[in-house]
Each structure stands twice: as structure tokens, then as C-alpha cells.
Amino acid sequence: MKNLPHSPVFGAREILKYIGPGFLVTVGFIDPGNWAANIAAGSQYGYSLLWMVTLSTGMLILLQHNAAHLGIATGLCISEAAAKFFPKWISTVFLGSAMLACVSTALAEILGGAIGLNMLFNLPLNIGAVLTSIFTLTMLLTNSYRKIEKWIIGFVSLIGLSFLFELSIVNLNWLEAGKGWIVPSMPAGSLPIIMSVLGAVVMPHNLFLHSEVIQSRQWNLESESIIKRQLKYEFLDTLAAMLTGWAINSAMILVAAAVFFNSGIAVTELQQAQETLRPLIGNPAAVVFAVALLMAGLSSSVTAGMAGGSIYAGIFMEPFDLKDSHSKTGVLLTVLGGLLVIFFLKDPFQGIIWSQILLSIQLPLSIFGLIFLTSSKKVMGGFANSLKDNIMLGLTALIVSGLNIALLVQVLKN
């Protein structure tokens, strides 16, 4: 990409106008799936899997920026671009698998909200799941995007404050944590957890969602300089949002390692985590844990529904618009599909874990599809990826694919 003759001055007020899409996407990787994966990682392996959060977040920044790059440069989301530029059978497989990933995501999000309601009010999970779904559909079908965005940023703030509180009352080994963040380690039997952490952080539906919502600002394609200016501001939004998510995900593992791993307790369900927190570090911590989980479930259910609506509308070469029947159908398929599966689950916690593994298995399709689109001059014109961009994106795709193959081999052996 050519350099601008001058760079925009990033004043605080100007930057704030661009904040929002990245934080909307951030909800997707501090969702209940992340809670299940991170608490399992911290309780079973202590600080040793923190490196996976660092690696995943680095890959996430690269991929989400690339997805936004597509939206800004072309005015199309990934789904619309795939429907327009892929052969019919490839776009069918690509977008069909992406819709299934959204349903898998919604399952975890809705179930997380239901578990939060169960912790706070002792509601049965099925009833909590129905209430969470009703909230999600109400938010999506009655509010504008900008209203939803403000709600989501508020939820993210509450979740972050909740974990700051949790961290303030536990004893952490910061030396071990520092080592865990930067030194890769793969303890025996940890691969499914590593894969679930990867699937919970780098999520397929978030790539589609970011390429859609980045257009909600009604930026235009009047000139090359305008597009480049948008890309610079967007990167700041993405970077700030992803680093916030990295901090919250890390906090989940830190709390689990400090409380559960040090007490020799392997957590196998989120209710167990809350029940165990109460006698170990007090009732306020258990209540805050439940409230934050509920906020995560509600907010991430909304973004999963938005992603499903965007993908389904894109199949028909239409932008996401909840006044349109295709967007509404995509939302309903995503939310109600996830809700339906919940009624057949025997083990909710394992359901969340395996939903994240399924996401990580679909993820290479989304990544390779995104790379193809953003590398094509036919699609991107002068804003196609550079060789350096493609090398970094290609390495990310290879890492994800390699972990998927390793997980498949391990599952087949068992």
C-alpha cells in the first residue's frame, strides 16, 4: 500500500469517533466459551497455558484488522465478497460452515447466560436459556446498531471491572504468570484445552462480524486517502479492543490458577467454579463472578446473532439490515438453533468446551477464505495485501491448521 503524503493527527476526540466496532467484536472472545476454556486451563494447568492467550490475541489482531480492511476497502463484508467472487459451490461450503459456526457460538453464549441466571437466581438452565434468547432477540430486533454498540461497551466494562475485583483478592505468583505468558508449554493431555482456548479467542463469526460492522459508520470510498485514514483509525480501535480482551482472558486464567490450581481443584463446570470460589475467597467474589458471566452471555449472544444475520444476508448479496427478511432469518437461525441444541446437552460445561473446539476446526476455512479475498486485486484493487501481510496471515493459518490436525490425531487415538 502506498504511503499517504501526510498522516492524520490522532486527536482524542477524533479517535473516539472511531471507537466501537473493535469493542463489539471483543465481546466474542470474552464470552462464556472463553470462561469455560480459560477456567479449565487455569484450574488444570496453572499459569502454563497463558502463552496461548498471548499467541491467540496476536493472531486475532492480525486477522480482525484484515477483515476490517476488506470491509473498508470494498464496502462488502466477507459473506458478500465470498458470494460475489467465489465459485458457487465454494461459497456454499464456505458460508454454510460459517453459519454452523455461528450456531455453535450461540450455543455457548446462550448457555453461559443461562448458567449466570442459575447461579444468581437458581433458575433451571433450560428456562435461563430461553430467557437469554428472548433478551437477545429483543435487543437485535428492536434496537439500532449504535444502541447495541453502547450496550456492548458497557457490558465489556462491567466484565473488566469484575475481574479487576477478583484479581485484587487472590494471591498471584506474578513470576510464574510472566513466564506463562511468553514461554510456550504443552503439558500432557492439554491439547484439547489449548484448542478450546484458540477457538474461544480467534472465532470465525467475529471475522465476518467485524467486516460488516466496520461499515456502520457510513464511511465512503471517495478517495484512496480517505480509505487509508479509515484503516489507521480502525487499527487503533482494533488494537485497543483486542488488548482489552487479552487482559480479561488472562485474568480468567490467573484467577483460576491462583484459586483452583493451587488448591488442587480441577474445574469441570462453571457452577462448580462459583461454588468453590465462595468458601475459598468469599461470597462477594462468587456473586461478582456470576454477574460478570451473565453480562458476558447476554452481550456475546447479541453479537453471535448479528454475525449470523450478516452471513445469511451476505449469501443473497445484501448488507446486514434487520429490516430485511434475510438478516432476520439469519439471526433467528443462529439464536434459535443454538437454543435448540442446548435442550439435548447432557453436560453443559463440556458442551461449551466442544463448541469452542468446533469453532477452531472451522477457523482455517474462514482464514484461508479471508486471505484469498484480501490478496486478490480483483477484489481489493490497490488495497490488496502486501507480500508481508500474506506471509503473516499464511503463518497464522498454518499454526491453526497444525493444531487442528494434532487435535484430530489425539481424538482418533482415544
User: Could you tell me if residue 3 is inside a domain?
Assistant: no
User: Could you tell me if residue 205 is inside a domain?
Assistant: yes
Domain CATH for 387 = 1.20.1740.10
User: Could you tell me if residue 114 is inside a domain?
Assistant: yes
User: Could you tell me if residue 359 is inside a domain?
Assistant: yes
Residue type, 357: I
Summarised one tens digit per residue, pLDDT across range 25-60 is: 777 778 777 787 888 899 999 999 999 999 989 988
**Neighbour tally for 263: CB within 10 Å:** 10
Q: Quick check: 360 and 195 in contact, CB under 8 A?
A: yes
Question: Residue 98 and residue 115: Cα distance in Å, rounded?
Answer: 26
Phi, psi of 19 (to 5 degrees): -75, 135
Question: Residue 111 and residue 128: Cα distance in Å, rounded?
Answer: 8
User: Could you tell me if residue 12 is inside a domain?
Assistant: no
Summarised one tens digit per residue, pLDDT across range 230-277 is: 777 788 888 888 898 899 899 999 999 998 898 888 887 777 777 777
Summarised one tens digit per residue, pLDDT across range 154-195 is: 877 888 888 888 888 888 999 999 999 999 998 988 888 887
pLDDT tier, 360 (very low <50, low <70, confident <90, very high otherwise): confident
pLDDT, mean of residues 345-353: 74
User: Could you tell me if residue 2 is inside a domain?
Assistant: no
Give me the domain span that covers residue 280.
17-413
Question: Residue 262 and residue 44: Cα distance in Å, rounded?
Answer: 10
Which pLDDT belongs to residue 146?
A: 64
Q: Which residues have CB under 8 Å from 353's CB, separation 6+?
A: 36, 37, 40, 192, 193, 196
How far is residue 400 CA from its own chain's centroid? 15
User: Could you tell me if residue 4 is inside a domain?
Assistant: no
Q: How many domains does the chain have?
A: 1
C-alpha cell read off for 16: 473516539
C-alpha cell read off for 412: 482418533
pLDDT, mean of residues 333-359: 83
CA atoms within 13 A on the CB side of 328: 8
Q: Quick check: 101 and 86 in contact, CB under 8 A?
A: no
Distances in whole angstroms, Cα of residue 175 to Cα of each of 27, 47, 172, 281: 29, 10, 9, 22
**Neighbour tally for 84: CB within 10 Å:** 14
User: Could you tell me if residue 192 is inside a domain?
Assistant: yes
